[in-house]
Structure 1
């Protein structure tokens, strides 16, 4: 997270905390009036969470702010979001600094993906296509982001760590670039799957999914989950939310195949990409 954005989040939180004190309300009372969770109020006031425009409007209404004060806190939120957009243009943000920090500190990483391969499993060329699709990038920024992503993958080989990946079969068949790129990528998956520190599972298309997947997510131990969206990554550390994602991951893992079955599936998909490559060269 950029230092400018962090300071702006703290300023917004401190201003709201001061306004709540002036109104003579506890955090719980403000949360009840605004119709939001008390942890949300706490995280916003402590600069740990950026409220949505809707949540900020609710808090402003619950505090009874006049027009000028409401515009003041709204302007602070706009400044936070502007700083966020600036940070996203950097290679650190492009590579997912939020996810990187959370993964590096975890001993057990569990990741579910339904469209794109997990960052820890991407080949350099696959990652390059992922970063090239992001807005406002340059070849230099993409190059640094790819290098950082490849370096992070060394965590897969560290003793004492465990990584569990569950993918839908659609991930293996959603491909950028060329069939040759995917053949190299699938070959990497075969190699990683053989590691003692890694478990790779795939939910075959012939099996129904236990829950309709809406987005990818990564659990870091049992203390946080990184939720991936089109606009970036969000770290959630609320214990109830983390527990819900753990239960969902278990259901996806229960529908997946592992070991010899997943290797057989990978070889089958590789054969189909070889057919595509042969057809493209004719």
Structure 2
């Protein structure tokens, strides 16, 4: 990354940090008001991340900035984007699916995630996560290694008292596999371990059960303040009340179609048996 671009990022971050201090807000409070993860606020303020226009607008609204100051920070962002040296830093490599969720869940007490293709970020093993990040555009081995380590570290929220995580998957998620059958056996074993936690509810919609809504993408509800909507190559965070209500209703319908407890453990064991058979077949 060029030195001029880096300096512009630092200038934008310093200005936002100063405005937050003037408003008497902590980074955690600002993140909650803006509907973003606290790590996002930290990275922007320290010049390690270029915020999207949407994130900058939400930070500006949460800070209660007047029109003149909003224009000022927008101009600072424009200066970053116009600065020479557009190579992205390791922290700014376009994210693979789940990166935004990683940041959002840090300040979330209730996580509700529905997935129809890729396992939720909080449930991935290191090897599964590596395949997710390798698929990101412009990924590098060093960046992938750091991203995997950060993802595994953030999974500690699953074990924190006072938090609740509810995951609903289609059976297709369990049978869509990267790497090898051995990778998926380790991944499914991880799901069995996590399912036993008192802070986690894991549900699966079996293939024999019709889905109540045709799923087109995954999404994660963070408390009742934001939803992370996942597309093939990007993610967006929405705090719009009408959109939140629609996703909460949709999640409830998927949750109602899923099996939990003993039934989901039996299903996981059946899928594991299928992967063992597949592994034996591939090694013959």
TM-score (norm 2): 0.70
- Which whole-Å CA distance do the structure 2 matches of 1:46 and 1:203 have between them? 38
Using the TM superposition, give the Cα deviation of residue 46 of structure 1 relative to its aligned residue in structure 2, in angstroms.
6.9
Is the Cα–Cα contact under 8 Å of residues 95 and 136 in structure 2 kept in the other structure?
no
Q: CA deviation at 1:88?
A: 8.1
Distance 2:258 2:85 in 1: 40
d(CA) in 2 for partners of 1:145, 1:46? 23
Task: Give 1:95 deviation, angstroms.
Answer: 7.8
- Cα RMSD over matched residues? 3.3
Q: How many angstroms does 1:210 deviate by?
A: 0.5
Alignment counterpart, residue 114 of structure 1, candidates 116, 124, 140? 116
Determine whether 1:147 maps to 2:149.
yes
Aligned positions of 1:86-97 closer than 5 A: 86=88, 90=92, 93=95
CA gap of 1:98–1:129, structure 2 versus 1, over 3 A, is closer
Quote the offset at 1:89 in angstroms: 6.6
**Which one is further off, 203-212 or 95-104?**
95-104
- Aligned counterpart in structure 2 of residue 162 of structure 1, from 141, 161, 164: 164
Q: Which runs of 5+ in 1 are unaligned?
A: 11-42, 50-72
What are the superposed Cα offsets for residues 18-37 of structure 1, whole Å, 9 maximum, x if unpaired? Answer: xxxxxxxxxxxxxxxxxxxx
In the alignment, structure 2 segments of 5+ residues that lack a partner are: 1-5, 16-52, 60-74
What SS class does the counterpart of residue 48 from structure 1 fall into? Answer: helix
Partner of 2:19: none
Structure 1 residue matching 2:132: 3-state secondary structure: helix
Secondary structure of the residue aligned to 2:201 is strand
- Return the offset for 1:230: 2.5
User: Corresponding residue for 1:47?
Assistant: 57
What is residue 18 of structure 2 aligned with on the other side?
none
Is the Cα contact below 8 Å between 1:204 and 1:257 reproduced in 2? yes
Specify the alignment match of 1:253 in structure 2: 255
Secondary structure at 1:109's aligned position in 2?
strand
2:196 paired residue number:
194
Moved over 6 A (4+): 43-46, 82-85
Q: Could you tell me how far 1:4 is from its partner in structure 2? A: 4.0
Change (3 A) 1:205 1:95: closer
1:146/1:279 CA distance change after superposition, 3 Å:
same
1:177 paired to 2:179 = yes
Contact 1:92 1:145 in 2 (8 A): no
Deviations 1:53-75 (A, max 9, x none): xxxxxxxxxxxxxxxxxxxx9xx
Distance in 2, matches of 1:190 and 1:151, equals: 19
State the Cα deviation string for residues 58-110 of structure 1 (Å, max 9, x = none): xxxxxxxxxxxxxxx9xx69949x99994787369458553233211111000
Q: Whole-Å Cα distance in 2 between the matches of residues 92 and 106 of structure 1?
A: 23
Tell me the distance in 1 between the aligned counterparts of 2:199 and 2:54. Answer: 37
Q: Are residues 184 and 6 of structure 1, via their aligned partners in 2, closer, same or farther at CA, if it must alter by over 3 Å?
A: farther
Residue 236 (str. 1) matches residue 238 (str. 2): yes
Scaled by the length of structure 1, what TM-score is found? 0.71
The 3-state SS of whatever aligns with 2:176 is coil
Task: Give 1:244 shift.
Answer: 0.7
| In structure 2, C-alpha distance between the alignment counterparts of 1:253 and 1:231, rounded to whole Å | 26
Task: Count matched residues.
Answer: 224
Is it true that 1:214 corresponds to 2:216 in the alignment?
A: yes
Q: Is the 8 A contact 1:88 1:94 kept in 2?
A: no
**1:148-171 per-position Cα deviation (integer Å, ceiling 9, x unaligned):** 000011100000000000000000
Distance 2:55 2:233 in 1: 23
